[in-house]
Every structure is written in structure tokens, then in C-alpha cells.
């Protein structure tokens, strides 16, 4: 009876290994990107600049963030998408959205807090198999004071935190 159990156990292990052959299981790792003095164009809704991104080092970011009105004139919804690019050209793509909270500073001067979430959508190069982590990335971007009527470009600082999945290779056929 012991030989039968041993043979069955061995067979189950071999079947499991055979089924999973070709898989490289995913690894979830921390993700963080920060930047100061990045720029947002409220007319084209394009944002961009430079920062420091985990696993990329110095990086540039580029994307679009489209605000839309709510019932509160000082709160807007936003949605957008973009990419981070490492010095060697490898990229991580993301999309998401949230809310913009405008704070009046007097006259036509404001500051704004862009709060939301990004989902990692993929990448290129060494990030070709990257994907979302255990939860969406947390996004906080704070605009420097700006004149909502006369400033064509608004500066902001940002921090994006969370985790990402390095991905698993597709099963060999």
C-alpha cells in the first residue's frame, strides 16, 4: 500500500510539473515615481516632465489628463493615460483617473490637488511583461499656485506609489 501511495504522489508531482512547464510565475514588486516642476497644459490637457521611477531610474513621463465638471465647481473628475520612459527607451504604460480639488487663493489664483489611481497597462523592453500589482497605483499631484485665466502652463509635483507585477511569460506551446 505504501508503494502505491508513493507512486501516486510521485505521479501527481510529475503531472503538476508538466502542466506548469514553460511558466515563469509573476513577481509583485514595489513601484514609486516622484517628480517636481513637471508641467500641465490646461488647453491641450497634456502633462509631462521628469522624475525618478523605481526600476527605471531617471525617467520622463508624458500623457494626457482630461478634466470634466461635477456639481461642485471646485471639484472635477479626471481621466487619462500616459507612459514613463527610462533613459534606454524602455517604457511602462498606465491609465486611470480620479478627482481634481481646486483651492482658490484669491482673485484668479488657484492651486489644485489631483488625486486618483493609475493601472499599469504594460510596457516595452525589460518591462514588456509588466502589469498591475495587487491594487491600482495611488496618484497625488499638487499644482504650484497658478492664475487660472492667464497662466498657459501649470507646474506640479507628483508622487505615484503602489506595486506592479513583473509578469509571467506566456506558456510555451
Distances from the Cα of 12 to the Cα of 1, 4, 120, 173, angstroms:
17, 12, 36, 21
In a domain, 123, yes or no: yes
**Residue 21 scores a pLDDT above 80:** no
Range of the domain at 103: 24-165
pTM value?
0.80
Pull the grid cell for residue 161. Answer: 506609489
Please tell me the total count of domains within the chain: 1
Based on the number of CB atoms within 10 Å of its own CB, is 38 exposed (0-12), middle (13-18) or buried (19 or more)?
A: buried
Residue 113 lies in a domain: yes
Q: What is the pLDDT of residues 85-108, one digit of tens each?
A: 999 999 999 999 999 999 999 999
pLDDT of residue 33: 96
| Mean predicted lDDT score pLDDT of the chain | 87
Residue 130 lies inside a defined structural domain of this protein: yes
Q: Is residue 1 part of a domain?
A: no
pLDDT given for residue 166 in this prediction = 86
Grouping H, G, I as helix, E, B as strand and the rest as coil, residue 165 is strand
Beta strands in the chain (DSSP E): 28-41, 46-53, 57-69, 75-86, 91-106, 109-123, 131-132, 137-143, 146-147, 154-165
Q: Residue 17 pLDDT more than 80?
A: no
CATH of the domain at 36: 2.40.480
- Is the pLDDT at 170 greater than 60? The verdict is no
DSSP 32-56: EEEEEEEEEETTTTEEEEEEEETTT
Residue 173 resides in a domain: no
70 within a domain of the structure (yes/no):
yes
> Is the residue at 158 inside a domain?
yes
Whether 13 maps to a domain, the answer reads no
Amino acid at each position: 500500500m505504501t508503494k502505491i501511495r508513493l507512486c501516486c504522489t510521485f505521479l501527481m508531482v510529475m503531472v503538476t510539473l508538466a502542466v506548469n512547464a514553460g511558466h515563469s510565475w509573476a513577481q509583485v514588486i514595489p513601484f514609486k515615481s516622484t517628480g517636481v516642476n513637471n508641467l500641465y497644459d490646461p488647453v491641450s490637457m497634456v502633462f509631462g516632465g521628469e522624475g525618478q521611477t523605481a526600476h527605471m531610474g531617471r525617467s520622463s513621463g508624458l500623457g494626457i489628463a482630461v478634466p470634466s465638471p461635477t456639481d461642485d465647481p471646485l471639484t472635477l473628475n479626471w481621466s487619462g493615460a500616459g507612459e514613463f520612459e527610462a533613459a534606454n527607451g524602455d517604457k511602462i504604460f498606465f491609465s486611470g483617473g480620479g478627482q481634481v480639488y481646486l483651492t482658490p487663493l484669491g482673485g484668479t489664483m488657484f492651486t489644485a490637488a489631483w488625486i486618483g489611481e493609475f493601472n499599469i497597462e504594460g510596457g516595452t523592453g525589460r518591462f514588456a511583461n509588466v502589469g498591475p500589482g495587487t491594487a491600482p497605483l495611488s496618484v497625488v499631484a499638487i499644482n504650484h499656485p497658478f492664475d487660472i485665466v492667464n497662466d498657459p502652463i501649470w507646474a506640479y509635483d507628483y508622487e505615484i506609489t503602489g506595486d506592479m507585477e513583473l509578469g509571467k511569460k506566456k506558456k510555451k506551446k
